[in-house]
Amino acid sequence: MTTADLAGQTSTGAKLLAAARTVIPGGVNSATRLVGPPYAIATAAGAYVTDADGRRYLDYHAAFGAILLGHAAPEVDDVVRAAIGGLDLVGWGVTEPEVELARLVTETIPSAEQMISAMSGSEAVVQAIRLSRTVTGRPLIVKFQGGFHGWHDAVARNVISAPDRAYGNDPLSRGILPEALDSTLIAEFNDLDSVRALYAAHPDRIAAVIMEPIPHNVGALVPDQEFVEGLRALTAEQGSLLIFDEVITGFRHALGGYQQVCGVMPDLTTFGKAMGNGYPIAGLAGPRHLMEHFSSAGGDVLLAGTFNGNPVSSAAAIATIRYLRDHPDFYQRTHALGDRMRAGLTAACAELGIEGTAAGFGGVFALYFAAAPIRGYRDLMRNADAAYVAFHRRMTDRGFLMLPLALKRNHISAAHTEEDVDRTLEAACDVLRTIRDDGLLSSTG
């Protein structure tokens, strides 16, 4: 929709977006926010958001998963208000919230002995890659097709790639130096042989393998235990580091992240999003002998950032982690609701005779429009992307906020209830029927 079209709309949200386009490129500060109505969100509380025109939505988008306890959770917001009243940004020495946050992280993430703070997951990954190249003296990084690790040059390639670009040169942006793209190699998730082949082709040149333990940026590809264990053994054997990018899985699936679930310890862990329940905070953790390569400890890897470890964001993360630590039932509830959602979507597809696979882990769910099994990106290329987008679009139109982009996941927070899930499934069954009847889905029978 053009600015002229938006200006002709009567809705408050459309008018706000039209006005935004005069001062913000495209009207939004992240391209994935430009996905149609609702054009603007006005308020958020619990499991719901309300748009600028007063329409209420049950929120499964959850700011790409940054909302874990629910919007405006008092357990976090009350602590943040107190922090604002006591200490703002000073940029000198260290503050007590920074120390307490690092202590909590090293107590909860199994592989962590020390941590550094950042403001976004992308920043944390930049630090992890620089550190990996420094300690190994090697230039190359391996990532998996479909994995997203931030917007920066080192890894901004091969996420949701078209079939003719998958595994090849598929950058996310213009303006990236070719040598930066060429320094990142692409493997297939759940396929250890594809990683071995890269080591054989580039002996003694791979600094690290970085992976989302569950690639949630393409829905929810759950790893085989043998794959994760094999990757750990292979990287150690080859003298490389293993980086778990737990920006999405961290704190959401278990207090100690997915590494606690699978029992495999990476060398470095990045985390963010849900750890602050919506406040800007992220970090990188690892063993002391690696982390002391940062310049803050006299090493040669630059550590800088005015807002790193700021008291307000640190307070939000402390409150979130303490809540999760003191309420282990959070994981029982969200996992049970996730199971309920996935079972209900599976039953709906079977009842309607359509080809669908409900995937996910814990409180994250995705409905692929392709037959099982779905283990890696090659399987995702069978997904009916038009149906996937239509399902999310039509669910949003009915008041269930789901990002209408292919392969994007959905999130259940502490604020969701069984009633919410059941209402969602009732609507989903109707929406799936309309999509089937419109000829967007393959039949199973």
Q: Is-contact 221 258, C-beta < 8 A?
A: no
Average pLDDT, stretch 226-232?
98
The CA-CA-CA angle for residues 299, 302, 304, to 5°, reads 125
What integer pLDDT is reported at residue 442 of this predicted model?
59
Nearest-angstrom CA–CA distance, 153 and 184: 10
What integer pLDDT is reported at residue 355 of this predicted model?
93
Type of residue at 261: V
Q: Is-contact 61 410, C-beta < 8 A?
A: yes
What integer pLDDT is reported at residue 14 of this predicted model?
93
Which is more confidently placed, 150 or 90? 150
Count Cα atoms within 13 angstroms, Cβ side, for 19.
7
Judged by phi (left if over 0) then psi (alpha if -120 to 50, else beta), residue 441 lies in beta
Between β-strands 364-368 and 41-45, what pairing exists: parallel, antiparallel or unpaired? unpaired
Type of residue at 256: G
Nearest-angstrom CA–CA distance, 208 and 243: 7
Which is more confidently placed, 6 or 297? 297
CATH 3.90.1150.10 domain range(s) in the chain: 328-391+416-445
Average pLDDT, stretch 63-92?
94
What integer pLDDT is reported at residue 220 of this predicted model?
96
Longest dimension (CA), the chain: 67
- Give the phi and the psi of residue 381 in degrees, each rounded to 5: -70, -10
Type of residue at 154: A
pLDDT tens sequence across 306-351: 999 999 999 999 999 999 999 999 999 999 999 999 999 999 999 9
What integer pLDDT is reported at residue 441 of this predicted model?
77
What integer pLDDT is reported at residue 379 of this predicted model?
96
Q: Which helix (H) or strand (E) holds 357?
A: strand 357-361
Nearest-angstrom CA–CA distance, 302 and 360: 37
What integer pLDDT is reported at residue 165 of this predicted model?
95
Integer angstrom CA distances of residue 426 from 346, 398, 430, 431, 432: 13, 11, 7, 9, 10
Q: With CA atoms as reference, report the closest residue to 145 among 174, 170, 126.
A: 170
pLDDT tens sequence across 390-401: 999 999 999 999
Q: Which CATH class is domain 74-326?
A: alpha beta
Q: With CA atoms as reference, report the closest residue to 76 among 438, 414, 379.
A: 414
What integer pLDDT is reported at residue 327 of this predicted model?
96
Q: Is-contact 127 303, C-beta < 8 A?
A: yes
Copy the structure tokens of residue 150: 């931030």
Q: Is-contact 285 111, C-beta < 8 A?
A: yes
What integer pLDDT is reported at residue 371 of this predicted model?
92
What integer pLDDT is reported at residue 164 of this predicted model?
92
Average pLDDT, stretch 369-378?
95
Copy the structure tokens of residue 390: 């239509």
Q: Is-contact 34 378, C-beta < 8 A?
A: no
Nearest-angstrom CA–CA distance, 42 and 22: 20
What SS3 class is residue 282?
strand
Average pLDDT of the chain, as a whole number: 95
Q: Which residues contact 197 (CB under 8 A, 6 or more apart)?
A: none
Report how far Cα 40 is from the mean position of its chain's Cα atoms.
Answer: 22
Average pLDDT, stretch 269-284?
96
Copy the structure tokens of residue 351: 């009842």
CATH 3.40.640.10 domain range(s) in the chain: 74-326
- Give the phi and the psi of residue 245 in degrees, each rounded to 5: -90, 95
Q: 328-391+416-445: which CATH topology?
A: Aspartate Aminotransferase, domain 1 (3.90.1150)
Confidence of residue 89 (pLDDT cuts 50, 70, 90): confident
To the question of pTM greater than 0.75 for the whole model, the response is yes
Q: With CA atoms as reference, report the closest residue to 401 among 6, 39, 134, 113.
A: 39
- Taking the alpha carbons at both ends of the chain, their separation in whole angstroms is 38
Confidence of residue 1 (pLDDT cuts 50, 70, 90): low
- pLDDT beyond 70 at 3: no
